Amino acid sequence: MRQIHLLAALGFVAASCFTLPASAQSATTTFDVTLTITAACTINTPAATNVAFGSQPSTATNIDAAGQLNVNCTPNTGYTIALSPGLHAGGGGIASRAMASVAGTLVPYQLYQNAARTTVWGQTPGTDTVAGTGNGAVQQIAVFGRVPSANFPATSYTDTVTATITY
């Protein structure tokens, strides 16, 4: 009987060596990875450079200077840049831009889109604004200015123009 128990025990051990492992079970699912990119533009980083006419004698005419706007827009984003008439423009809007002295004397000037100073830069979309397309990097946009005559009292004159980007 002892042999039977021994054979049974050996059979059990042998059978346990040859048993197959239990099958693992699994399940799957899917999910989406999403991102929505919105268009963005800045016109103030780095800051604009001034249109500075410097010191001029009162006999000077057609005094030219240039400044720069720095635009950074999302790639392929269309934009337009408008320039306000300034703080001292008369009723004629951009046609009558002027710098003022502390005493209130006005010196006319104009801002242009091109170096030839033939295209006035204003604020009417599709008419006198500057259009462009963003490329993801800072784009330098020149602003050209001209003072027709410096035949005014000797003092300092200033104006502030607001540049607005629409995209």
All structural domains of the chain, each given as residue ranges with its CATH number in brackets, are 41-166 (2.60.40.1090)
Residues 42-85 have pLDDT tens digits of: 998 899 999 999 999 999 999 999 999 999 999 999 999 999 99
- Which one-letter DSSP state was computed for residue 59? T
Q: How many CB atoms lie within 10 A of CB 63?
A: 17
Identify the helix (H) or strand (E) that includes residue 132.
strand 130-133
User: What CA–CA distance (Å, rounded) separates 158 from 106?
Assistant: 9
**pLDDT the model gives residue 10:** 46
The one-letter amino acid code at 119 reads T
Its sign, for the CA torsion 143, 161, 145, 117, is positive
Distance from C-alpha of 76 to C-alpha of 141, rounded to nearest angstrom: 17
Q: Which amino acid is at 88?
A: H
Strand order in the sheet with 78-83: 130-133, 78-83, 163-166
What are φ and ψ of residue 120, in 5° steps?
Answer: -65, 145
Q: Which residue has the tokens 């209130």?
A: 104
For position 65, what pLDDT does the model report?
98
Q: Smallest Cα–Cα separation from 108: which of 122, 123, 126, 95?
A: 95
pLDDT beneath 70: ranges in the chain: 1-21, 92
